[in-house]
Structure 1
Amino acid sequence: MRYWLMKSEPDDVSIDDLAARHTVGWYGVRNYQARNFMRDTQQIGDGVLFYHSSCAEPGIAGFARVCSAPYPDPTQFDPQSKYYDPKSTPAQPRWQQVYVAFVRKTRLLPLSEMRQHPPLAEMVVLQKGSRLSITPVTAAEWAYLQELLA
């Protein structure tokens, strides 16, 4: 099993939205490295830190799990979508998505508080210049966060 931090803007899909829907497609990933994590490395059952980004107080808002294999993100084919990619075709899609399932909501763990915990110091999301929407999380970081957010 692997672990991931996956960022979502809460105005688009929040942890509460995921809780209400039980599963959501993780659409709109338009960075090749994040896409490659999703396409090539994520597996059904992997743990997910659901992270609220681009908001007043970004941070971890809950836990989820990957619950589907990657498949073409349909928003890339929709000219009405802000995620439309005219260079992508159904025969040769550029962008993938997976479904994630709700596990549990936690208190919000903001970046400022994450930085105060030495066991989290090496987390990718805490590194200067880190902006990827999907990043790996170590087993030790995952275990620490499970306990911290119990």
Structure 2
Amino acid sequence: MKSEPDVFGIDHLKAEGSTLWDGIRNYQARNFMREMQVGDRAFFYHSNAKPPGIVGLMEVVETGITDPSQFEPSNKYFDPASKPEAPRWDCARLKYLGVFAQQLSLDKLRELFTEETLPVVRRGNRLSILPVSSPSAAKLLEFLGDPLP
């Protein structure tokens, strides 16, 4: 799951403990989020950073939440076509599990994985939520080690 560190980074999540992962306005990313289940873990990826890469680990604690930002006219994620009786967008609640001792940069990810085994390495990929297969997740955790609290 990607976020820009100056907008909402791993330090923000650590301070809050948990957060709604809201504001997703891409149907494919939304559908990936809908596949998540309570207890799933997710890598926190800092995008639009120098360098971009995986910095931490989160856990899904709640799914299927209607994204409240779609109904707030002052919110940048407001969707005037979405109605409370038929919302288009939902979100999940994630909790902080830890930060890795070192970031795993996008360049290093491209050395370790192909586009088929880890979609985030695909050039031009702009989705904020992407699935990670169990074998790829195991390889990432083997490389990154246990997150620090």
What TM-score does the superposition give when structure 1 sets the normalisation length?
0.90
Q: Matches of residues 54-133 of structure 1 in structure 2 within 5 Å? A: 54-106=48-100, 107-117=102-112, 120-121=113-114, 122-133=117-128
Q: Distance in 2 between matches of 1:103 and 1:89?
A: 34
Q: Could you tell me which residue of structure 1 aligns to residue 12 of structure 2?
A: 17
Q: Which has the higher contact order (CA 8 A, sep 6+)?
A: 1
Q: Distance in 2 between matches of 1:11 and 1:93?
A: 29
Q: Could you tell me which residue of structure 2 aligns to residue 3 of structure 1?
A: none
Equivalenced residue count is: 142
User: Deviation digits for residues 87-128 of structure 1, max 9, x if unmatched?
Assistant: 0111111111101111110121110111122xx222101123
Q: Note the residue ranges of structure 2 that are not aligned, 5 or more in a row.
A: none
Q: Distance in 1 between matches of 2:58 and 2:121?
A: 20
Amino acid at match of 1:35: R
Q: Could you tell me which residue of structure 2 aligns to residue 42 of structure 1?
A: 36
Structure 1 window deviating more from structure 2 (53-62 vs 80-89): it is: 53-62
Q: Note the residue ranges of structure 1 that are not aligned, 5 or more in a row.
A: 1-5
Q: Distance in 2 between matches of 1:128 and 1:52?
A: 16
Moved over 2 A (4+): none
Q: Distance in 1 between matches of 2:105 and 2:64?
A: 29
- TM-aligned CA deviation for residue 77 of structure 1: 0.6
User: Deviation digits for residues 54-83 of structure 1, max 9, x if unmatched?
Assistant: 223211011111110221111111111110
Partner-residue secondary structure (3-state), 1:12: helix
Q: Could you tell me which residue of structure 2 aligns to residue 26 of structure 1?
A: 21
Q: Distance in 2 between matches of 1:90 and 1:11?
A: 31
Partner-residue secondary structure (3-state), 2:45: strand
Partner-residue secondary structure (3-state), 2:13: helix
Quote the RMSD (CA, aligned, Å): 1.1
- TM-aligned CA deviation for residue 42 of structure 1: 0.8
